[in-house]
Structure 1
Amino acid sequence: MSRRTVTVRVARWSATHPWRAIGLWLVLVVVAIGLSIAIPKQQTKDADTRVGQSGEAAAMIEQVNLGGKPSETVLVTDPDGPLDKAAATKALTQLRQKMTAIDAVDSVGEPIWSANGKAALLPIELKGNADDASDNVEKLVAVTSEVQRGSPGLTIEQTGSASLDAGIWKQVGSDLARAEKLSLPITFLLMLLAFGALIAAGIPVLLAFSAVGAALGFYAPLSYLFPDGGSVANVVLLIGMAVGVDYSLFYLKREREERRRGRNTVDAVEIAAATSGHSVVVSGLAVIVSMAGLYVSQDPVFSSMATATIVVVAVAVLGSLTVLPALLAKLGHRVDRPRVPLLWRLNRRIGPGGISRRILAPVLRFPKVALIGSTLVVVALAVPALGMKTETAGLDTLPQSIPEVATMQALQANFPSEGMAYDVVAKSDDKAAAVAGLTRLQKAAVDSAQFVVTPGQSIRVSGDTAVLTLVSVRPDSSADAKVALEQLRGNLVPTAFKSLPDATWAVGGEAADGVDYGKRQADKLPYVIAFVLGLTLVMMAFTFRSLAIAVVTTLLNLASVAACFGVLSLVFQHTWAEGLLDFTSPGFVVSWIPLFLFVILVGLSMDYHVFVLGRIREGVQAGLTAREAVRKGIVESAGVVTSAAAVMVSVFAVFATLGMIEMKQMGVGLAVAVLIDATLVRIVMLPSIMVLLGRKAWWPNKLPAEVADEQQRPARDLVTV
């Protein structure tokens, strides 16, 4: 065995100095937690996420300070029927008095009564910008709740950008807490099934959880370069638990295997470091390379996800190469204590690769049939992806359990002028001409019966820039937002400014932001795909010194991703799974999900792919025939792959039960892809391809001559990958 590799040297030092290695890991985790406490995590600002024409409009408005002040709205309705005007007037008067007394409030408007007589609203403008409004909105919510308690016969609710965001983040926090509570015990149970012993089951979970905590701490200072777009904690938990457990699992399984062969603990640790440890490093690099593809999208939210994920993967790899060998060396045979009698005997009875051996036998006997059949299944699953529709998330995709969402929908139903707003910005040296153009636009938009103007709203002018806000009468959905935006940008605005060629204009607003963001992700997807596939192909070719292995890996990754996208389309563009997963079908996949899933899936699929190929290559380099090497490699790695996949699928499935549609789509996509990848792809497609390629798969590696009978092969302690 080569002792020159870094993984072996690090493992040997950790195994021979266990308390130092354990102490250094604890210091690392404590320092990371200290960083998270001492350094406030930075969040993305509105200006960070500006893209396309809507971004240009926002910048033009900001330059001349014509942006509307952040606002909130209190909606008053009667749950039993038509609104009692006297009771509502009393409540609205109390609201005006109490809201005016809040320092963060700039002004409180007069109550507005709906044309249908069923509701009244109170408009409130806040001081400062949107970020200030987010900091102070709880004060307004408290007043609204206080007046509601004093008016039991009315329904008094608050909504607006700040309160809606607060409600969404409250839901996200609740979802994250639920995911933590479910993922930890489920992961521990799966490890208990895999090892049949409490200590062996607890070590991977403990290390993965500590890696997640450390990564969140180290991300805090990095957030000044890559501000959190709001999903960092979710993604770190999702990926950190999956890879952290898997890396420890790979290492621990190999160390136990070598001890069963009679090795002492230190030698077993060194062998595990040279084989599984090497696979862990390659797998970790593959995930890091894949996640780096998110930087290509040039999106601050994706950049924050990429940074945090790279950190958690790096910490997980470090833990599996340092503190894990130390723990194994210190515990020795005690790692298999205390045993759970039934599970322990069951594991011993099944043996390594018991189920996979039965599936694999016909695959190796009829590789062409197996490859054709599995390919047809993958193609059938992938075909629906051709009809995948992607749209941005909107009010209609948010969980109806969020009170502010229901209030916003009720507000728009009773007051059409409170719907999707679009800011049309015009800039010209001739200020009067810009105002005249917007005036023509306002008349044409209102005459089309597709837009209205907020009561009391006029064209706002500052310097050479003028702004008009139009509100669409369509429902607040991504599809309707796209239609309304196309009407404005493609017809109404160009027509209004046709006689003013020197004027520049742009259409923005919150609804336009969503549409432009979705288009940006779709435009960047091909570049991300090319970057990730290109780098992973080069990395696999370098690792295994084989172009054939690199190409096969790339094709199998694409097969898993295509099947995942097909299942996503089947589930979320139709209604048949609504009751099963507790959601209302939006009829589309949220626009950022495909790009994010692609980079995650390529990285995670490499996780155990490298491990399996490493075991196959050990057999080939030991002189086995291609068929026997594949059989031995798949069977010996089957237990680890099955356990690793089970952990990933269970963690991802937890996210499929959450309330936010984005988390649900991400969870379903990842769980399905890993399940397909670990079964159909790795147990059927990969071995059939490897058998058909034979020893050509490893060209130009120099391989030893084949020995037909494994019993006649010269003994070898280990062939490093």
Structure 2
Amino acid sequence: MAHALYRLGRLAHRRWPVFIVGWLIVLIGIGAAAGTLSKPLSDKFTIPGIESEQAQELQQELFPSTQDAFDQATGTVVIQAPEGEKLSDPTHAKAVETLLADLREVPQAGDPEQFVSPVAAAQGIEQQYLEQAKANGQPEAVAQANAAAVSPLTEDGRTGLVQWTFDVDTVTDVEQSTRDAVHEAVDAADTEDLTVEVTGTGMQGMPEMGMTSELIGVAVALVVLVLTFGSLVAAGLPILTALVGVGIGITGITASTAVFDLGTTTPILASMLGLAVGIDYALFILSRFRTELRHTSDREHAIGLAVGRAGSAVVFAGLTVIIALVALAVVNIPFLTAMGLAAAGTVLAAVLVALTLLPAILGALGTRAFAGQIRKDKAIDEGQHVDNGGTRWARAIGAHPVVAVLVAVLALGALAIPAKDLHLALPSDSTAAAGTSQRDAADLIADGFGPGQEARMIVVVDGRDIEDPRQAPAAYGEVAEWLGGLDGVANAQVVGMNEEGTGAQLMVTPTTGAVDPATEDLLHTIRDGIPAQEDSTGTTIGVTGLTAIQTDVSEKLQDALVPYLAVVVGLAFVLLMLVFRSILVPLTATLGFVLSTLATIGATVAIFQEGAFGLVDGAPLVSFLPILMIGIVFGLAMDYQVFLVTRMREAYIHGDTAREAVVDGFRHGARVVTAAALIMISVFAAFMLQGDNLIKSMGFALAVAVLLDAFVVRMVLIPALMYLLGDRAWAMPRWLDRILPNVDVEGEALTKHTSASDAQEELVPAG
């Protein structure tokens, strides 16, 4: 591999116009495809085969007009009068009618008759229920309770709902201009006399990203790169190439929406990860290029060696990230697989750009690659055992390795403690960022109607197997009575029967919210009691609705967490065995990875779930965050392990003692790894400035993961363990050494190429 990359680096440097133009063509071509073929992004968190999906299929079979829970584009406007007043008061009633008139004029709003005053709608519902109760001999009190449960007006008459369905096939068909028009109508009605907010599946557009986070991350990265290279030109190169890679990745994701359904967080994840690894990969190669220039004046040969040596490590590092992301397909969750593949594609673009576009740009710059110096570059001859910050740190760890191991393990263990209380859920209005319209609407609904209003479940009852069809309504009523008697149920009632009478839909309103653990417990209680009810009534029963589907998805993701971690850890062990020709080195590396992962999950639970320090309102973590974080951090952790420990191995096999090898690894790798980690931390942490709690938590988790893995595990725990293991760290059974392929990540085969002429003789065939 080193030889092939050496040739690639030389070729890109020599034929730089071809490579630069080629990448421009790729970028423009993908951009054109994205602009002409792309479709809107959507969030459809479903998993084939889960119980709620099966119940939804049963629902659609009995009620063919029923839409998929994630496709139905709804809108809900919440209106609240001042305390002590009612929406029926003349002044408020007039303002509500003006709002309704504005909403009827909104494009894609659908049937104008949907827009009814909450006061009028509540009166109509109560009258309808009372008439039905009288006709069926039902107690009036039961009818009033059921009417109140579905009423769009609170008992005190202060808060009301206007609910409608957009005239579109799916949520993604709602245009942004439609959402803007709804917000304009709502803002006009939101005065001192009325509080008006809006939410609903049709009102959820793509999170507003802006450029603030990216610019802050890039600015910090630029400062770190300037300090690393002491050159403004060199500092700008990794950022330039990273932006090209991210541009290709994001436009590629946008173009792929023509074929695949992708979630709104997919490009955010790809942007976050692609920018970080893109800068780091270019940093590694550019840093090695500068080192090679200290031994040769032939710039083409120097870039060949840099790509052959550091580029080999970049390929391995990128491959580990890609494999970990692609391995998300193992858990068989479609939307997560799509996110992993999209992010993997962006990482692949970052690797290819670093290996080809960077050498091409260096070829175009020539001797100006390190121009704009702001400080003198203090050259370090790799052949000399000079002291620097890395060696001093390594010796400090070596002086007390047992203490270092204990401090690192105890610190990570303490941070991991909150992970035992991990609670996962999918995003909802109640977990949206404070101050957003959807969060304010959710709070108004919970305060006025109870938290269960937004956590309703649909129980589907299939009565086709009932011997006497005339007994079907009684069976449906029996199921409703059973549901209504369960703890945690505020109301349960039949809300619809099909024309044949062979199926019914029952609406269950919990007493708790959608992301409350008690609601999840209620779902399990209902399912546990279904077999007995089916036997008693001769029906088939299933539970569906957004709350049930989201709960099932979250539990499936949480159940997949440990198996996926096991797959990634096993993969890490095998890959590191190939690189280091050792068993104990991979063992320590994977142990460190597990510790940093658990500590990161614990810290994220403490801040974002438990609300520690009051930085955010506590809420369950997004269901796919831990598993995504594991996949991403695995790749990044292997980056630092490779760049530090391969230097140790190189020194060891060339005659240094085990202790000297640790010091030598830090001599040559600590500075670059520190710079790379700081860049990644800054890029990820900058996303915490976004208003969306999902993006905030992703940025926090990734930033903390890099911080802990780079500076606690790789800089403290690993060298301390290497000191304690000594020569045993590099032991390898002979039979295993013989069967493992030699991947030559550090490019040892190129070590003898000390001059361009030597390289030409070895690498270019004669004749």
User: TM-score scaled by structure 1?
Assistant: 0.87
Q: Which residue of 2 aligns with 1:91?
A: 95
Q: Which residue of 2 aligns with 1:421?
A: 456
Q: Which residue of 1 aligns with 2:621?
A: 589
- Residue 242 (structure 2) aligned to one of 193, 208, 231: 208
Structure 2 unmatched runs, 5+: 120-153, 738-750, 760-767
1:379, 1:74 → 2: CA distance? 47
- Contact kept, 8 Å, 2:253 with 2:267, in 1: the verdict is no
Q: Which residue of 1 aligns with 2:6?
A: 8
SS of the residue aligned with 2:435? Answer: coil
Once the two structures are superposed, the pairs formed by residues 619-638 of structure 1 within 5 Å of their partners are 619-638=651-670
SS of the residue aligned with 1:336? Answer: coil
SS of the residue aligned with 1:76? Answer: strand
Is 1:441–2:476 an aligned residue pair? no
- Residue 145 (structure 1) aligned to one of 156, 178, 184: 184
1:315, 1:70 → 2: CA distance? 35
Q: Is the alpha carbon distance of 1:624 and 1:449 closer, same or farther for their aligned partners in structure 2, counting shifts above 3 Å?
A: closer
Q: Which residue of 1 aligns with 2:291?
A: 257
Q: Which residue of 2 aligns with 1:709?
A: none
Q: Is the alpha carbon distance of 1:680 and 1:263 closer, same or farther for their aligned partners in structure 2, counting shifts above 3 Å?
A: farther
1:417-451: per-residue Cα shift (whole Å, max 9, x none)?
A: 84321110111323555543332233344456844
Q: Is the alpha carbon distance of 1:402 and 1:676 closer, same or farther for their aligned partners in structure 2, counting shifts above 3 Å?
A: same
- Residue 519 (structure 2) aligned to one of 469, 474, 481: 481
- Contact kept, 8 Å, 1:77 with 1:119, in 2: the verdict is yes
Q: Is the alpha carbon distance of 1:615 and 1:144 closer, same or farther for their aligned partners in structure 2, counting shifts above 3 Å?
A: closer
Structure 1 unmatched runs, 5+: 704-714
- Contact kept, 8 Å, 2:429 with 2:439, in 1: the verdict is yes
Q: Is the alpha carbon distance of 1:278 and 1:352 closer, same or farther for their aligned partners in structure 2, counting shifts above 3 Å?
A: farther
Choose 376-385 or 211-220, whichever is displaced more: 376-385
1:309-358: per-residue Cα shift (whole Å, max 9, x none)?
A: 111111111111111112223324422211224xx57999xx99833322
Q: Which residue of 1 aligns with 2:560?
A: 524
Q: Is the alpha carbon distance of 1:699 and 1:267 closer, same or farther for their aligned partners in structure 2, counting shifts above 3 Å?
A: farther
SS of the residue aligned with 1:577? Answer: helix
Question: Which amino acid letter does the alignment assign opposite residue 665 of structure 1?
Answer: S
Is 1:512–2:517 an aligned residue pair? no
Is 1:683–2:715 an aligned residue pair? yes
- Contact kept, 8 Å, 2:585 with 2:729, in 1: the verdict is yes
1:718, 1:698 → 2: CA distance? 28
Q: Is the alpha carbon distance of 1:695 and 1:35 closer, same or farther for their aligned partners in structure 2, counting shifts above 3 Å?
A: farther
SS of the residue aligned with 2:537? Answer: coil
Is 1:605–2:637 an aligned residue pair? yes
* RMSD, matched Cα: 3.2
Choose 620-629 or 444-453, whichever is displaced more: 444-453
Q: Which residue of 2 aligns with 1:73?
A: 76
Once the two structures are superposed, the pairs formed by residues 686-705 of structure 1 within 5 Å of their partners are 686-700=718-732
- Residue 508 (structure 2) aligned to one of 461, 467, 470: 470
2:20, 2:211 → 1: CA distance? 29
User: TM-score scaled by structure 2?
Assistant: 0.82
Is 1:659–2:657 an aligned residue pair? no
2:312, 2:198 → 1: CA distance? 54
- Contact kept, 8 Å, 1:95 with 1:143, in 2: the verdict is no
Choose 421-430 or 258-267, whichever is displaced more: 258-267
Q: Is the alpha carbon distance of 1:246 and 1:353 closer, same or farther for their aligned partners in structure 2, counting shifts above 3 Å?
A: farther
1:490, 1:698 → 2: CA distance? 54
Q: Which residue of 2 aligns with 1:706?
A: none
User: In the TM superposition, what is the alpha-carbon distance from 1:44 to its structure 2 partner?
Assistant: 5.1
User: In the TM superposition, what is the alpha-carbon distance from 1:487 to its structure 2 partner?
Assistant: 4.0
SS of the residue aligned with 1:467? Answer: strand
- Contact kept, 8 Å, 2:234 with 2:370, in 1: the verdict is yes
Q: Which residue of 1 aligns with 2:318?
A: 284
Question: Which amino acid letter does the alignment assign opposite residue 67 of structure 1?
Answer: T
Choose 596-605 or 114-123, whichever is displaced more: 114-123
Q: Which residue of 2 aligns with 1:641?
A: 673
Q: Which residue of 1 aligns with 2:150?
A: none
Is 1:112–2:118 an aligned residue pair? yes
User: In the TM superposition, what is the alpha-carbon distance from 1:455 to its structure 2 partner?
Assistant: 10
1:39, 1:626 → 2: CA distance? 57
- Residue 308 (structure 1) aligned to one of 325, 339, 342: 342
Aligned residue pairs: how many?
691
2:503, 2:414 → 1: CA distance? 55
Choose 691-700 or 193-202, whichever is displaced more: 691-700
1:353, 1:41 → 2: CA distance? 56
Q: Is the alpha carbon distance of 1:505 and 1:602 closer, same or farther for their aligned partners in structure 2, counting shifts above 3 Å?
A: same
User: In the TM superposition, what is the alpha-carbon distance from 1:221 to its structure 2 partner?
Assistant: 4.6
User: In the TM superposition, what is the alpha-carbon distance from 1:42 to its structure 2 partner?
Assistant: 6.0
Q: Which residue of 1 aligns with 2:740?
A: none
- Contact kept, 8 Å, 1:390 with 1:591, in 2: the verdict is yes
SS of the residue aligned with 1:425? Answer: strand
1:565, 1:71 → 2: CA distance? 34
User: In the TM superposition, what is the alpha-carbon distance from 1:598 to its structure 2 partner?
Assistant: 0.9
Q: Which residue of 2 aligns with 1:711?
A: none
Question: Which amino acid letter does the alignment assign opposite residue 27 of structure 1?
Answer: I
2:340, 2:239 → 1: CA distance? 23
User: In the TM superposition, what is the alpha-carbon distance from 1:596 to its structure 2 partner?
Assistant: 1.3
Q: Is the alpha carbon distance of 1:249 and 1:203 closer, same or farther for their aligned partners in structure 2, counting shifts above 3 Å?
A: same
Question: Which amino acid letter does the alignment assign opposite residue 643 of structure 2?
Answer: F
**Identity over the aligned pairs, expressed in percent?**
26
1:148, 1:17 → 2: CA distance? 58
SS of the residue aligned with 1:120? Answer: strand
- Residue 273 (structure 2) aligned to one of 224, 239, 244: 239
- Residue 417 (structure 2) aligned to one of 358, 366, 383: 383
